[in-house]
């Protein structure tokens, strides 16, 4: 692949990492006011309406049914993976669980790409390895012992997120807008199912003590950033190799940490700062 062809997916992947990092930051602020599923629901619903309205307004032709199905399935299983991830984080120490989830999110599409495209060049292979190391260093924060159940849920969530990246890649082969719309529809259905199940069990987020405090603003902001990240990632995955796009995009926790440092004045740990340096080296290698 020519140098220019290698740079494009890396730059697009970095754009996805920046916007996904912003989405997580906005969502994290929103969860201080309302349960996480309500934040996700508000963001998913509003971005679905915006995407569907835009596609219909410009009379964008529908892609093949298979690609719509890939998008729908990706959004649906991604919603369930997100619920498992939140459950895993609630069970105990977050550091190891978040790191395992992040690593598997990148590893699943990498394995898929290696199986379908073969091995990349030497520099790109080294970049993929360093990218995985960077994800681990940035996401992992040593703490108390993590319950085995949290690791299991975190691992399943990571695999689910990884398959979601593959499905988004497959769904966007004929264009990204309808792919993102179908994925968002699947996500809305998934979140609605989860909210319904929790409500039936008496664990719904709209409890007696809940008071609406404008949480939906952060939900919509998180949804807009997430949708932009999905669009950039899907474009990156078709501009070059899927494994490179997935690895670079999965560096998004570093940008969440940078936003927390700039806005909330939360200082990253030494390990996280070293992880960001490793991530920079990974990006350079992947760009060669």
pLDDT digits over 177-218, tens only? 999 999 999 999 999 998 888 888 877 666 555 566 667 788
Asked if 17 and 249 touch (Cβ cutoff 8 Å), the reply is: yes
pLDDT digits over 117-149, tens only? 999 999 999 999 999 999 999 888 776 667 888
Lowest mean pLDDT among 79-93, 167-181, 230-244: 79-93
Q: What is the CA radius of gyration of the chain?
A: 18
Alpha helices in the chain (DSSP H): 3-30, 36-57, 65-90, 94-117, 122-139, 148-171, 176-200, 215-239, 242-249, 252-263, 270-287
pTM: 0.89
Q: Which long-range contacts (CB under 8 A, 24 or more apart) does 190-197 make?
A: 190/75, 190/76, 190/77, 190/78, 190/79, 190/80, 191/37, 191/40, 191/41, 191/44, 191/79, 192/41, 193/79, 194/37, 194/79, 194/80, 194/83, 195/37, 195/41
């Amino acid at each position: 692949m020519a140098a220019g062809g290698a740079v494009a997916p890396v730059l697009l992947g970095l754009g996805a990492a920046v916007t996904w990092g912003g989405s997580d930051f906005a969502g994290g602020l929103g969860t201080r006011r309302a349960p996480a599923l309500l934040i996700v629901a508000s963001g998913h619903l509003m971005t679905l309406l915006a995407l569907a309205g835009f596609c219909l307004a410009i009379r964008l032709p529908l892609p093949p049914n298979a690609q719509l199905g890939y998008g729908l399935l990706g959004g649906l299983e991604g919603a369930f993976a997100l619920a498992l991830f939140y459950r895993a984080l609630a069970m105990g120490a977050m550091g190891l669980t978040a790191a395992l989830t992040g690593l598997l999110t990148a590893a699943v599409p990498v394995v898929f790409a290696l199986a379908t495209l073969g091995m990349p060049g030497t520099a790109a292979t080294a970049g993929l390895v360093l990218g995985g190391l960077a994800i681990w260093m940035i996401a992992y924060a040593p703490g108390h012992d993590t319950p085995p159940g949290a690791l299991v849920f975190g691992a399943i969530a990571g695999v689910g997120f990884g398959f979601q990246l593959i499905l988004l890649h497959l769904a966007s082969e004929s264009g990204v807008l309808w792919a993102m719309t179908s994925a968002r529809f699947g996500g809305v259905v998934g979140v609605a199912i989860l909210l319904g199940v929790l409500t039936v069990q008496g664990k719904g987020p709209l409890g007696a003590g809940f008071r609406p405090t404008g949480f939906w603003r952060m939900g919509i902001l998180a949804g807009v950033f997430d949708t932009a990240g999905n669009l950039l990632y899907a474009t990156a995955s078709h501009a070059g190799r899927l494994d490179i796009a997935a690895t670079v995009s999965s560096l998004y926790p570093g940008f969440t940490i940078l936003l927390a440092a700039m806005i909330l004045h939360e200082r990253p740990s030494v390990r996280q700062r070293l992880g960001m340096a490793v991530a920079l080296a990974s990006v350079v290698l992947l760009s060669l």
